[in-house]
Amino acid sequence: MSNLLIDTCFWYACYEPEERERHDFATKFIERGLQRDTIIVPHPTLYEVINTRFSKQEKRMVRFRELLTKHNVKVVNNDEYKERALDLTFDFSVKEKRPMSFVDMIIRLMLDDTNLKIKALATFNEKDFCDVCLKKNIELISK
């Protein structure tokens, strides 16, 4: 059993079928992952996924809640990452000229955390994570 971290954009693809190819890939990937792995959900991604538009869709809310309460889905608190992530977000954007969202920076720190034992990251935003995934030998799943 491996720990798979799921990025916000993967959840968007899973629950919003407008981009059929990404939707099909994301839903199949998560279904397979739920059968054999632990799904890691960074808590801050929930702020992005469960927005007003999403919360108006009762079926989506019910399905997502069911998924989040499965025994092999772990929502990871961001308390130990958020202060450092905030500093790094400003540093990356201003000093390194590499703009990155606060949530993505928290995910980067989670990927770098050996205690979480992340084996794979599912995202369609490879450019913000490819360096840390390469460094930590984490599989980058983007299709």
Question: 1-11, pLDDT tens digit by residue?
Answer: 799 999 999 99
**pLDDT of 27-57, one tens digit each?**
999 888 888 999 999 999 999 999 999 999 9
Query: Does 92 fall in a domain?
Result: no
What's the CATH number where 40 sits? Answer: 3.40.50
Query: Does 99 fall in a domain?
Result: no
Task: Write down the pLDDT at residue 33.
Answer: 85
Name the DSSP class of 77.
P
Between CA 49 and CA 131, with CA 74 as vertex, the angle to 5 degrees is 70
Query: Does 107 fall in a domain?
Result: no
Query: Does 131 fall in a domain?
Result: yes
Surface-to-core class of residue 71, CB atoms within 10 Å of its CB (0-12 exposed, 13-18 middle, 19+ buried): exposed
Query: Does 14 fall in a domain?
Result: yes
Between CA 136 and CA 54, with CA 139 as vertex, the angle to 5 degrees is 110
Query: Does 29 fall in a domain?
Result: yes
Query: Does 124 fall in a domain?
Result: yes
Q: Are 139 and 119 in contact (CB under 8 A)?
A: yes
The pLDDT profile of the chain, 143 residues, written as one tens digit per residue, is: 799 999 999 999 998 888 889 999 999 998 888 889 999 999 999 999 999 999 999 999 999 999 999 999 999 998 999 999 999 999 998 887 889 999 999 999 999 999 999 999 999 999 999 999 999 999 999 87
Q: How many domains does the chain have?
A: 1
| Helix intervals (H) in 16-116 | 20-36, 43-49, 52-55, 58-68, 79-90, 102-112
Domain enclosing residue 26, as ranges = 3-78+117-141
Query: Does 56 fall in a domain?
Result: yes
Q: Which two tokens stand for residue 40?
A: 């890691």
